[in-house]
A and B are shown apart, each in its own frame.
Chain A
């Protein structure tokens, strides 16, 4: 199973770079890695997705090593508004329920 493991929580200060790592040792060949962000009282929101190497958008970067058994979400210079739960999701065809379960995510708290 492509189960994911993330730290339960992380603290950071404003202006710092934050890296959240997700382990997915049993990732399948056709699986993509997607990160979501969830604020209180809202649904998860798509942040970034990748298959291998590095992907960057206006919000974050995603680093995926060659073996793809882990991935790291990098948030540059976080602000208080980046306080949220971050989920790593690994999957290909969402006809499989196991690939649609998000787990408990990482609570990131940004301190002033």
Chain B
């Protein structure tokens, strides 16, 4: 059983399109995250939800909108895609908001905007 699963794994789309990435975790964790990893492997937090409530919203264009229908799911919708949005997006989860508990990551969604 995959602990944190993301779909799709690859996404190739044209500029201006709208796309969504889905994430689900079966670990019973109450906190979920979206990360963006650029070509230099820099891994930066975008959003964090705790018990469906948004607790971190980093400096991300408002074209990016996360949605958490329940504790086990965190989706990311991106409007009007731009070339600079090309990256690998990772979903992660943890029990609680303490770094002490560690984070479990999904395998990533490689988004390519052409």
Contacts and interface: CB of A to CB of B under 8 A. Distances in A.
Nearest to B41: A104
Contact of A43 (B45, B102, B107): B107
Contact of B43 (A45, A102, A107): A102
B64 interface: no
Contact of B105 (A44, A89, A93, A97): A44
Interface string B91-105: 010100111101111
Interface residues of B, number: 28
Interface residues of A, number: 31
Nearest to A102: B43
A92 B98 contact: yes
A52 B31 CA distance: 26
B56 interface: yes
Interface of A: 31-32, 34, 36, 38, 41-46, 49, 85, 87, 89-97, 99-105, 107
Given A49-B100, A90-B99, 13 more contacts: A31-B99, A32-B99, A41-B108, A44-B103, A44-B105, A45-B105, A46-B102, A93-B97, A94-B98, A97-B58, A100-B33, A105-B41, A105-B43
10 contacts: A34-B99, A42-B108, A46-B103, A90-B99, A93-B99, A97-B48, A100-B99, A102-B44, A104-B43, A105-B43
